[in-house]
């Protein structure tokens, strides 16, 4: 019996984990290569893509089509198939800028949603050999390193002044609007981290390593697995006004729960002051 089976997870979640592991091995094999060998290029003025992004997405897509031929697929690099039922949401390399520069801080994110409800998700952090796995109603766990699975739980930090919070730098036009929100939280929180991978930010929030995360301009593949992970670990995810998310393409705020009102207050104050 597999580790996930012993934890009560479904075969579908186990498939997501195994597929993410395969993609992680592929991506790590490319990491040491030169920029030329990685085929680093710009998708937009601030958005990179590499050979690893395409090859990992192709691998994941092939595994999904073989196992679930009737499922849809939404991949960051354009691998998409329509379907009225379950749909896999895939980011083959979240943190491509880090990866392209040889910085070992990136993730593989694989999630399954069915009619708008997230069902399971895996966030692999290949350089650390960490695998964060969540399934609706079954909790979230950290696997890796040969150690026993660790059940994820968000932190209990209730004072924003003691909170380690994280954000990202989206593409324009969201970037210019977002940057002014960072200063107030640098002043109000313990510290702010910008680590370049939304999926890892959310996984670390679920694990209690971070206390809150906010960013606009996100895409479903950036956050699908992470949103479920935070919720299953006891955290809260909303828009910047504290309202339930209506879409994964929005301004997102995720926290341990106790910090949510303070984060909403800071972000609302910025919104009120913005032109």
- Residue finishing a domain among 151, 182, 199: 151
Tell me, yes or no, whether 132 and 35 share the same domain: yes
Tell me, yes or no, whether 165 and 147 share the same domain: no
Tell me, yes or no, whether 179 and 135 share the same domain: no
- Residue 216's CATH number: 3.40.190.80
Q: Is the pLDDT of residue 111 over 50?
A: yes
**C-alpha to C-alpha distance for 97 and 204, rounded to whole angstroms:** 19
Tell me, yes or no, whether 104 and 207 share the same domain: no
Tell me, yes or no, whether 140 and 267 share the same domain: no
Asked if 240 contacts 194 with a C-beta cutoff of 8 angstroms, the reply is no
The residue-averaged pLDDT of 79-106 equals 90
274 compared with 134, residue with greater pLDDT: 134
The residue-averaged pLDDT of 209-235 equals 97
pLDDT digits (tens, 9 = 90+) for 229-271: 999 999 999 999 999 998 898 899 999 999 999 999 999 876 5
Please report how many Cα atoms fall inside a 13 Å half-sphere around the Cα of residue 205, on the Cβ side: 37
pLDDT digits (tens, 9 = 90+) for 1-54: 588 999 999 999 999 999 999 999 999 999 999 999 999 999 876 778 999 999
Domain residue limits at 226 = 160-273
Would you call 237 exposed, middle or buried from its count of C-beta atoms within 10 A (0-12, 13-18, 19+)? buried
The residue-averaged pLDDT of 215-238 equals 97
- Residue 90's CATH number: 3.30.540.10
- The token pair at 14 is 């186990």
Q: How many domains does the chain divide into? A: 2
> E strands of the chain, at which residues?
41-44, 47-49, 72-75, 80-81, 86-94, 107-114, 117-125, 130-135, 139-143, 150-151, 164-167, 191-193, 212-215, 236-238, 252-255
Tell me, yes or no, whether 47 and 108 share the same domain: yes
Tell me, yes or no, whether 27 and 130 share the same domain: yes
pLDDT digits (tens, 9 = 90+) for 169-205: 988 888 888 999 999 999 999 999 999 999 999 999 9
What is the pLDDT, as a whole number, of residue 40?
A: 93
Tell me, yes or no, whether 187 and 257 share the same domain: yes
Nearest to 149 by CA among 37, 3, 256, 265: 3
27-36, 154-163, 214-223, 244-253, range with the lowest pLDDT: 244-253
What is the pLDDT, as a whole number, of residue 274?
A: 47
What is the pLDDT, as a whole number, of residue 81?
A: 76
What is the pLDDT, as a whole number, of residue 273?
A: 46
Tell me, yes or no, whether 51 and 110 share the same domain: yes
pLDDT digits (tens, 9 = 90+) for 56-85: 999 999 999 999 999 999 998 877 777 668
- Residue finishing a domain among 151, 178, 198: 151
Tell me, yes or no, whether 66 and 193 share the same domain: no
What is the pLDDT, as a whole number, of residue 30?
A: 96
- The token pair at 75 is 């991949």
**C-alpha to C-alpha distance for 130 and 201, rounded to whole angstroms:** 13
Nearest to 132 by CA among 6, 16, 256, 260: 16
What is the pLDDT, as a whole number, of residue 271?
A: 54
Tell me, yes or no, whether 96 and 21 share the same domain: yes
pTM, 2 dp: 0.94
- Residue finishing a domain among 125, 151, 177: 151
pLDDT digits (tens, 9 = 90+) for 113-145: 998 899 999 999 999 999 999 999 999 999 987
**How many residues are recorded in the chain?**
275
Separate counts of helices (H) and strands (E) for the chain:
9, 15
Nearest to 142 by CA among 158, 128, 156: 128
Distances (CA, A) of 197 to 14, 18, 94, 168: 24, 21, 6, 7
Asked if 132 contacts 155 with a C-beta cutoff of 8 angstroms, the reply is no
Residue with tokens 């895939």: 90
Tell me, yes or no, whether 140 and 189 share the same domain: no
């Amino acid at each position: 019996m597999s580790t996930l089976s012993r934890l009560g997870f479904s075969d579908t979640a186990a498939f997501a984990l195994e597929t993410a592991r395969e993609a992680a091995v592929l991506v790590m094999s490319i990491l040491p290569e030169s920029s030329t060998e990685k085929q680093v290029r710009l998708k937009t003025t601030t958005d990179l893509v590499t050979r690893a992004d395409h090859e990992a997405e192709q691998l994941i897509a092939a595994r999904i089509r073989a196992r679930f031929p009737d499922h849809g697929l939404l991949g960051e690099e354009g691998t998409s198939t329509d379907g009225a039922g379950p749909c896999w949401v895939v980011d083959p390399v979240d943190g491509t800028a880090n990866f392209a520069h040889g910085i070992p801080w990136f993730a593989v994110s694989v999630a399954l949603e069915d009619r708008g409800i997230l069902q399971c998700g895996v966030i692999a952090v290949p350089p650390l050999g960490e695998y964060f796995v969540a399934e609706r109603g079954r909790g979230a766990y950290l696997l890796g390193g040969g150690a026993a699975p660790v059940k994820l739980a968000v932190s209990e930090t209730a004072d924003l002044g003691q909170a380690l919070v994280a954000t990202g730098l989206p593409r324009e036009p969201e970037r210019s609007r977002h940057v002014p929100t960072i200063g107030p939280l640098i002043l109000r929180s313990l510290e702010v981290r910008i680590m370049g991978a939304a999926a890892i930010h959310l996984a670390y929030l679920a694990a209690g390593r971070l206390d809150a995360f906010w960013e606009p301009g996100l895409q479903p593949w950036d956050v699908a697995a992470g949103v479920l992970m935070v919720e299953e670990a006891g955290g809260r995810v909303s828009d910047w006004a504290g309202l339930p998310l209506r879409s994964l393409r929005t301004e997102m705020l995720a926290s341990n729960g106790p910090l949510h009102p303070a984060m909403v207050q800071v972000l609302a104050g910025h919104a009120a002051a913005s032109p």
